[in-house]
Structures are given as structure tokens and as C-alpha cells.
Structure 1
Amino acid sequence: MTRKTVRIAMNGVTGRMGYRQHLVRSVLAIREQGGLDLGDGTVLWPEPVLVGRREHALQDIAERHGLEHWSTDLDAVLADPAIDIYFDAQVTSAREEAVRKAIAAGKHVYCEKPTATGLEGALELAGLARDAGIKHGVVQDKLFLPGLLKLKRLIDGGFFGRILSVRGEFGYWVFEGDWQEAQRPSWNYRAEDGGGIVVDMFPHWEYVLHELFGAVKSVQAHVTTHVPTRWDEQGKLYDATADDAAYGIFQLEGGAVAQINSSWTVRVNRDELVEFQVDGTEGSAVAGLRACRVQHRSATPKPVWNPDIPATERFRDQWQEVPDNGEFDNGFKAQWELFLRHVVLDEPWRWDLFAGARGVQLAELGLKSSAEGRRLDVPELTAGVLL
């Protein structure tokens, strides 16, 4: 076996997602399995170079995992010709400038979403990457979750017949930070720092709906801030200027309707933190992060509405579990492996910065829809151009 090293500048690894999902569970996990076997006698070995603003945090992570390379000087790292890929998991407000620098330096780019704070910036990045001839990708991890992979299998197999509707529920209670520490960083609740559940979650819903059910043709959203004040990491009270809940209706290509609630102010009474119910003429399914349950037309009961007596049947027991029929890897790691193969072998890849721009577009239109109180069409983006 020949070992080929790919050096990856990883910016934002001191944050929760950058550290846990991208560094530890993806890049380091690939190293722990002996590298990525390319199938031609070559093993790809990812070599992370940690980048960030907090020197002590970077040094601690590097020492903890036996890594040699880290820096607080992004410009110097990007100027290094040995760096092949730039990865960005910073706060959204810092991402656009850093990705632009990486493109100018000729690095392949892989980044978290949203790719920018607005559609104009997202399209500019995509256009710059295209013109520079680099490989570029955006994290779209939900597509690689076991529950949604099972759902995709059902769709491809024609299980649903004609799909009528999709109903999604996402969220959990994020503590305010006074009597219990918040599970999310405080910047998530400040619009001036790029926070808000719409800019965080609508890009996810865009690619899930687009890939599984059809392009989003229109959006109508109601966006609100249910909890107006919170406490930050230093215990200081601050005003929550960003939205913490969004209720959206999406008209899809082909006629199906999707309704998705997103909330950081809801207590969970479902099996998983996110669930999608898909109803079709021939069957229905409920998919979460890992599990997927189905009810076929032939096994659908015939409930009768009678509010005067207790329910006589347990509706959840009437659904059948979809088997794994395979092994599922961490979703972030699975997409990392595909991107690395795309960079090295030029294998097909469709989750690029233009796909990321569609997510930014939907978030922007969702906020506008709520502000104006009306449904808005979603213009098609082709090669980054509004049609």
C-alpha cells in the first residue's frame, strides 16, 4: 500500500461541531482506521493543521490527540503550499472572509453551512471557487444519517406511491443559561453574530427536501423569538436578538407540501430530536436520526373519530421497523470520505458551494416571508445565477 498524505487546514476546531464531529469523529476517525483506502493500492492519510484564534485551546487539542501542527495565523497557513484543503467550521459571520482567502490561495474548500450570511455572498463564493477551478463542498450531514438513508431507500423503491406531504419536527429545550448552563453557544441567539434558528436549520431543510422529495418552489414562514433574554458563557444577561423558533410551509416540485417546525424552545415528546413523517398514496413512514418506521396501505387501520370514548388501539404499535440491512458510519465522516475521494480521484460530487447557496437563499426568503407575512416563490439557482 502507498500512503498519500493530504494536509487539511481545519479552522474552528475549538468549537463544539468543529471539534467533536469534524476533527474527532471524522478526520481522526479516518486516521484511526488506518486511513482512507482508495481501492487502487493507495491509502489516503489526512493530516490536520489546527487553526483558530485561541492559542491555548489549539495547543491543548493538539497535545490531547498527538497532533503536531497548529496555528493562530490563518494567512500563514494558507500561504503554505503543502496545505491541500481548507475546512471552515467557524461562526457564520467569520466564514465568508476566510473561505474567500482560501479560494484565492488555491486551496480546495470544504465548509460548514450556512456558507455566508446572505445569498449574495454565498453566490460570490461559489462563483469564485468555480472560476478558480478548485474542488469545493458544503457539509450536508443529514443526508447520511441512518434514518434518512432508510427513507431514501423507501423512496427509491417506490414504497410511497405518490408522495403527498412531509411533516418535520426538530428541536429541544435550550436552557437560558441562568440556573442551568445552555447547550448552545450564546452567539446562536444574537442576530448581529450570525445567530438564529432559520439561518441554522433552513439550509438543512433545503438540502433534505431537495435531495429526497424535490426542489423547494415556495416558502411561507413564521419566525419568532420566544425567549427574549438569556445568559452567556460568563453568566451575563443579554438580549436574544435572533429567532429561536420557526414554523415553515414549503411547496415542493411535483406538488408535495412540507411542513417543518424548528425550535430551541420545545420540550421533546418524540422518539428522536428530529423526525420526518412522509405520507404517500401507497404508504407512510416516520424517520428520525437512526430509526425509520413504516405503515403500508395494506396494513393501514381504519380509525373512527369518537371523542367520547378512550382510544381503543395503540397507533404506534401498528407501524413496522425498517431494518438496517447494512452498517452506517458517522454521517459527517461518511461525507468527509466522499469529499476526500472527490479531491484526490475527481469522483462525482454534487454538494458544492452552489448547493450551499440554495440553503442560504431559503433561509433569507424564510426570514423575509415572516417579516412580510406572505408566501414567497423560491427562484431557481442554476450555476449560481438567479433565473
Structure 2
Amino acid sequence: MISVDGISGDDFAGAGLRRLGTLPQHDLLTLAGDWLGELAPWRNTGSLAAISTSLSAESVLASLFVFGEPVAEADARAGVPGPLLDLLLRARVLSEESGKLSADYCLVRGDGMSLLAAWRAAGRDTGSYAPWVGTDSMTLSRLVAARRRARTALDLGCGTGILGLSAARNGADVVSVDVNPECLAAATFNAHLNGLGDRLTAVEGDIMSLALDSRFDLVVSNPPCLPLRRGSLGWLAGEAGLDGLEFFWELLRRVPDLLTEDGEALLQAAAYGDERGPFFVPELEAELRRLKVSGRLLLRPSTPPRWPAFAPRDENQQLTGVLGDEVREYVTSIGATHYYGFVLSVRSGDGLEVGRFQ
């Protein structure tokens, strides 16, 4: 677990974190190892051959953070500047065992930033599932990056910090909130990695019961949205009820008290529906009216109702046991045939506009 306790801004500045930004250019978010298979760099012999076999700093760091290969500590110290290596060890980004170093996090690139994330982001089911980056995070990050006028931003459920950092790059002062200390440490480290350490403040808290006195020009959240009964997997976060919308509704109701007069909230989630669209649209329209705000709902292309990732499955990839029975019964009971990812933009005003990503 990343830890930045006792590490000062001077420690980050002196470590030469820019070395990590010089690693081979690739985008694990796009390559998504489990989806596009052989394009993933650690499965592609051409990519491997492109990395120098010499013990330069870049080669050592690429072995650790891109390809996930252990490196002898003696070899690492021969190539990597001592302050950088010591910082990575102190922050528990690297771990040592039997004289070998291994990276507990991968380095991914997205929207012009380098981010330390759980190996899940690289298509590997190893390590933590908390601070990872997927295509949903990338979609929302690009929308945040387009909001250039925000001077203050709030990132609820920050994970790696990518959303808040997208706002910080535009000059916003950011408060990043998560219930998981590992995510807060990852967001803090990633802020320093991208030269934005002075623009991000990490706050530990549950986004379902958070009390904030400030208002923000931009509120952004990619909250837990796994369509599973809360607590069924025993995570700090992930499950969002059988409809996958429990966190979404709670956050939406908090939005009016978090936004400045001309502020905007961007909330991302997914919902069941049919060929006409998600079922929750009438309820959303009524809730926006009650809250006296307007909304613009952008829908992704739909997929068939999917069984949530990470849940236990049998050899046919069907959910097993009580959990599988619950999900199948729910999907059947509501007549769902489609599953829609979406982003909702919320502002002052009234009405709901429904569109689709181009």
C-alpha cells in the first residue's frame, strides 16, 4: 500500500520523479491487456525488444513499472539515482524481498499524465483493486480537462486522482476525497509525479456521509457502480446495490449544496435498460426537478446486461451461488436487455437533455 506519511515536498522534488515520465510511450488504458491481448506491451516481443537491455535508469524503471519484472536491488542501485529509488521504497511503491525489487503498482498514461495505479489497470488481476484506471476514468478525465474555467474542484472517490489532476492541470485547486487511505496516498503521489503537488489536497472520508462547508466550480465523481448488493464482496468500495445506482443517487442529491452559482457536476455510472434507453430516466427527470437543477445525460453505446466483474464465477463465466442468483433474478424481474454507461452533467436551471457520446 502506498504511503506518503513523513515524506515532504522537498523529498519529492529531490527524488527526480521526472525519470518515470521518460519510460516507453504506451497507453495501457487503451491497450487494456485483457481486452486486446497481444497488443499489451508485456505480451508483445517487439515492445520488449525496444527496451534497452542495459542497466540505465529508464530500463530498470521500465522493467519494474511497465513489464512488472523484478530487478536485483544491486542492479537497480547501479542504474537508478539513489534519491528516486529511496523515495519509491519509502513510499512503498516498490517492495524488496530476497535482494530483489518489485513494483506493487504499474505506471499508466492517460490524457497526458503518468499515473501509478494498481496492476488491475494493466489488465492483470494482481495487487489492489482500489486505485486503478479504466476506460470510464479516461472518458471522464477528458470531459474534466475540457472544463478550463474551473478554479476550484472536488473529486469524490478519487482513486488514482486522475480526475482531480485533470482539473488541476487547468489551474484549479482540488480537494480529492476517498474512504480508502491507499487511494489518497496514490492521488498525492501522482500529484507530485505530474508536478501538481501544490494543487491537490487529499481528504479521507466516506462520500456517502461527507460534510463539506465549501462550494466548488466543478464537482466530479466516478463512484462505485458495480450492480451488486452492498457488502457482497467485502470491499471498501465497489458494490452499489443491485441497480448499481446507490452512490449515484446520493451524490446527485448533494450536488446543489456543493456547487458555486455557475458550477457544474459530472457524475459517471451505469444503468440497466432496454433498446429505448435506461429505465431510470423518468426518475432522474423527477429528481432533477425536485432539486431545481438541470441535467444533460450522455449515454455510451449499450451492452447486454453484464455480470459484474470480480464476482465469483463458474467455468461458463456465470455468477455462482447466492450472489449469482440475486443478480439474475433482479435483471429478469426488471426486464433489462441493455446496460448503459453514462455521464450526467448537472448545472443550475431546469430540464433534462438526453444525448449520446459521439
Higher relative contact order (CA 8 A, sep 6+): 1
Q: Bin the TM-score by the shorter chain.
A: 0.3 to 0.5
TM-score under structure 2 length normalisation: 0.33
